[in-house]
Amino acid sequence: MIFVEDKNLVVPGDVLADDEYHTGRGTFKEGNKICSSLVGLVAVRDKKISVIPLQSKYIPKRGDVVIGEITDIRFSMWNLDINSPYSGFLPASDVFGKEKRDLSKAFDVGDVLFLRVVDVDEVKKVKLGLKGRGLGKFRGGILIYITPTKVPRLIGKKGSMINMIKDETKCDIIVGQNGVVWVKGKPEMERIAERVINMIEDQAHTSGLTDRVRNMLYELLGKEIEDEEEVPEPDIEEG
């Protein structure tokens, strides 16, 4: 028996199904009932039921790429804020190798870095690394914070959403798995990208988002909306 439908909004404690289903993420089993542990939308795949959260905190996972800000310099590592309950650290050896140098000459407090999560141990100590393509320090640009679960929506299918924003605003945009987005371009374009990204976060749980994002981009950029005359907006509200 299942008590909810796909894409239903549920809250913690809602009973979703009984034990002929499997528990996915955002759910837990109690007795022979499967319950939601989060505020989110139900996703049913075959016999697996999960809840996609509408709001979350970033929990570091090995292999993720994240954007972090340096908060502290220690003897042999930098401490970074990665928009998570857990802070990360970047060992000095990752940057200098065996050489001994002054850490603050490479990166200082307040610098923003694009990093990879190298390892997360059982007490959630997050080891970060800079080895990999495109990883390193950002110069200039702005940071936008979104809920980590909405990162896939912002990127879109095969990057469709994010590429559209990049193309239209001519900004460089990098999205970290931890919900931090770096945007660099002309200042007014950065503002537009910020507004669009915030809109996506607000409406990530609704459908037809890509079209609305395109319209919003065109409107903000003062471009004509294609096919506007052929397909007039139907006035359902007034009729």
Task: Choose which of 19, 29, 48, 55 interacts with another protein (CB under 8 A).
Answer: 55
Closest approach of Cβ 155 to another protein, in Å? 20
Closest approach of Cβ 225 to another protein, in Å? 24
> Are 39 and 54 contacting, i.e. CB atoms less than 8 angstroms apart?
yes
> Are 102 and 82 contacting, i.e. CB atoms less than 8 angstroms apart?
no
Q: How many residues bind another protein (CB under 8 A)?
A: 32
Task: Choose which of 2, 65, 130, 147 interacts with another protein (CB under 8 A).
Answer: 147
Q: Rounded to 5 degrees, what are φ and ψ at 45?
A: -125, 115
SS3 at position 201: helix
Q: Does 123 bind another protein (CB under 8 A)?
A: yes
Q: Does 7 bind another protein (CB under 8 A)?
A: yes
* Interaction mask 21-50, another protein, x per CB under 8 A: -----x-x-x----x-xxx-x---------
What's 115-154 look like in SS3?
EEEEEECCCCCEEEECCCCCCEECCCCEEEECCHHHHHHH
| The two structure tokens encoding residue 15 | 């009973």
Residues in contact with another protein by CB under 8 A are 4, 7-13, 15, 26, 28, 30, 35, 37-39, 41, 53-57, 59, 85-86, 122-124, 147, 149, 205-206
